[in-house]
Each structure stands twice: as structure tokens, then as C-alpha cells.
Amino acid sequence: MNNIIQEEEFRYVESGEGQPIIILHGLMGGLSNFKGVMDYFPSKGYRIIIPELPVYTLPVLNTSVKSLSEFLFKFINHMGLNDVILLGNSLGGHVGLLFTKNHSELVKGLILTGSSGLYENNMGDGYPKRGDYDYIKAKSEAVFYNPKVATKEIIDEVFESVNDRNKLVRTLALAKSAIRHNMAKELPKMNTPTAIIWGKQDSVTPPNVAEEFESLLPDADLYWIDKCGHAPMMEHPEQFNSILEEWLVSRKF
């Protein structure tokens, strides 16, 4: 991955020039989850920017989808951007949706993949076996259709997060905030063009969630990736890029 840039409270990576696409990672996801997008789109006239969301650094009482959306607003102002395209996976999709609802004038397009906001199966409310590496390994592998995508590095990172009390408390606060902040009533008022790119075998946000997003959002296109779980951009990076590029071109972005 590119070097992380630190400016004031913001840490991010970026590459390319042109139409900005801001990528929003999920709760357990890091910047590297989007390596495929980062490697491909800068040569196609897009500026890819991935901020590190302050998932583990906000005060616990202020750890919510809303706070992350407010952080994104500050980041976009800091970068002097407008007419951005937001691409969010899992919790990142939810942050993108809430941000777009509140600041539609800044958002030209939205891409959701395995997004929360309507429904998700999280890892369980209390991580009852959080000290058990095999349990965390099985849970991490279940996120993908092909368990081999859950490398030892990914599993170690999740294991470390759920065994760090500060991180665990914030993870659970965000998971609860995501469930509380259901957006079903707000989606029909959101006219931003949206691409929904979903794994057919996603067990965290199952396929019917993607269909519900498509039916509730006024201007949405739904694309499926087969033999694919909750993180299509990691499991099938080439297919994900090709669908995304086709959508961006069809929408003249």
C-alpha cells in the first residue's frame, strides 16, 4: 500500500488524479482491503483516497455511525473536495449512506458493497469466546466464500482487536449503533446514483439485503459476484473493478 499521509487528525493514503473516489473501510477492515481498487483506478483517471476511520479512537460514548459520518465531513473539508464518489464496505457503506443523506450536495455517486444500514449478522453480541483463536479464525473465514482469503495476518488482526478491551468496547458500540441506525425510511428520499455490488454468498449482509437496498433507493443498480462473501473487493478484485468501472463509465463519472 502507499505510504500513509498524516495531516492534523487525519491519516490517509491516496493515489492518482482526477475524479475523487473516497473509500470507507469496514469495522474490522483496514486500508489494505482495497488494494485491488487502489492499484487499478488511478491509471483510469480517478483519484483514490482512503482515510483511516477513527473506529478505535473516538470517546466510547461518541463511537457511532453518526460520529464517523461527521469525521468524514471534516476530512472532505480538510481535503477541499466536492463532487466526490463514496465507496463503502460493511460499516463503511453505512457511513457513506448517512453522509450522503446529510450532505447530498457533496456526493456525486455512491457504491455499496456488503453494506450495513438495513441488516447485518454481526459476530455476536459479546464475543463469548474472544480468547479462543480457533473461534476467531472460524468467524473470520466465514466472512468470505473462500476461507483461504482470511490470511493469518487478517485473523491475527481480528484476534488482537477483540482481545484489546478498548478496541472491543468500541467495536461493540459501533455494531450496536449500526443496528440502531436502520436507514430503511430514509433511503427512498436519497436520489444519489448508487451501485450495489454484492457477494451472492454473503452471510454477514445476505443477498436479500442487497435487493432491499435496490428496491428502496430511487436510483440504484445491483450487480452480483458469485462464489463471493462479504468483501467482494478482496475476494474477486478483478471482477469487482470491472463492474465498478463499467458503472462509472455508464454514469459518465
Per-residue pLDDT of the chain (253 residues; tens, 9 = 90+): 678 999 999 999 999 999 999 999 988 777 788 999 999 999 999 999 999 999 989 888 889 999 999 999 999 999 999 999 999 999 999 999 999 999 999 999 999 999 999 986 664 445 556 678 998 899 889 999 999 999 999 999 888 888 888 888 898 888 889 888 899 999 999 999 999 999 999 999 999 999 999 999 999 999 999 999 999 999 999 999 999 999 999 999 9
Q: Name residue 178's amino acid.
A: A
Closest CA to 83 of 109, 108, 51, 47: 108
- Top CATH class, 5-120+182-250: alpha beta
Look at the pTM and tell me if it is higher than 0.75: yes
Q: Where are the domains of the chain?
A: 5-120+182-250
